[in-house]
Amino acid sequence: MMQSPAGHRRTVGGAVVADGCPGVDVDAGTEVEADDAAALAALAGATGMVMALVPCTAESARRVLGDAARAAGVTLQLMARTVIATRACPGDVDPDCERALRAEIGHARCPQSPSPPTPGTLLPSPDVLRRHLNHLRAMRRRTLAAPHDPALRAALEDAAYTLCVLMGQRGAHSALMAAEERVAAHRLPPYAAPGGPA
């Protein structure tokens, strides 16, 4: 039996054994420091929160986090912890990190307005869109409440992707805006010309 200099893990016959330290991965002989596991968990949670706030895919959420970290001049791990802290203990959040995060989320929300659908594209009925919008909103709420849950993040990404396909948009936020506009337009009363029949 051999103990590593860091004291976080030991090996027995080449296999890694946890030394009672949380965050040590003992599967398949791989070694992960406790700090690395905590950083990965924080990054996963922060990704889920950004996915729910924008909304966007996991890839876009990680891009938002990376851009915010660069803008604030901090590491990605610190930015991820900042995102988590905005919910858990907002008083402890670094103001520069929060400002950079808000700016990047705002930028992700409005990179461009929804593009008009290509000619010949069949858009779903407002009732179908309303159902998908309600599902996306529910997934955003659930993911925001439990951002570390990978199943919720995957379900949110699926809901966002489905809306993108339905609306013929590249980004989830653009698809959301286009779908909301279509549903809202359907609710408006028909236009009556002035002086004409009501």
Task: Examine the domain organization and report whether 182 and 133 are in the same domain.
Answer: yes
Of 63, 177, 53, 184, the C-alpha closest to 115 is 177
Residues 6 or more apart whose CB falls under 8 angstroms from that of 19 comprise 3, 7, 8, 9, 10
Q: Decide: 23 and 33 in contact? Cβ < 8 Å.
A: yes
pLDDT of 163-191, one tens digit each?
988 988 888 888 888 888 888 887 655 55
Task: Examine the domain organization and report whether 103 and 44 are in the same domain.
Answer: yes
Task: Examine the domain organization and report whether 134 and 89 are in the same domain.
Answer: no
Q: Which domain holds residue 176?
A: 126-187
Task: Examine the domain organization and report whether 70 and 93 are in the same domain.
Answer: yes
In a domain, 176, yes or no: yes
Q: How far is Cα 100 from Cα 94, in angstroms, rounded to an integer? A: 10
Local confidence pLDDT in tens for the 198 residues of the chain: 333 333 333 333 333 333 333 333 333 333 345 568 888 999 999 999 999 999 888 999 999 999 999 999 999 999 999 898 888 777 778 889 899 999 999 888 875 666 676 676 678 888 899 999 999 999 999 999 999 999 999 999 999 999 988 988 888 888 888 888 888 887 655 555 555 555
The count of structural domains within the chain is 3
Q: Is the pTM of this model over 0.85?
A: no
In a domain, 115, yes or no: no
In a domain, 140, yes or no: yes
In a domain, 63, yes or no: yes
Task: Examine the domain organization and report whether 141 and 179 are in the same domain.
Answer: yes
Task: Examine the domain organization and report whether 18 and 72 are in the same domain.
Answer: no
Task: Examine the domain organization and report whether 135 and 183 are in the same domain.
Answer: yes
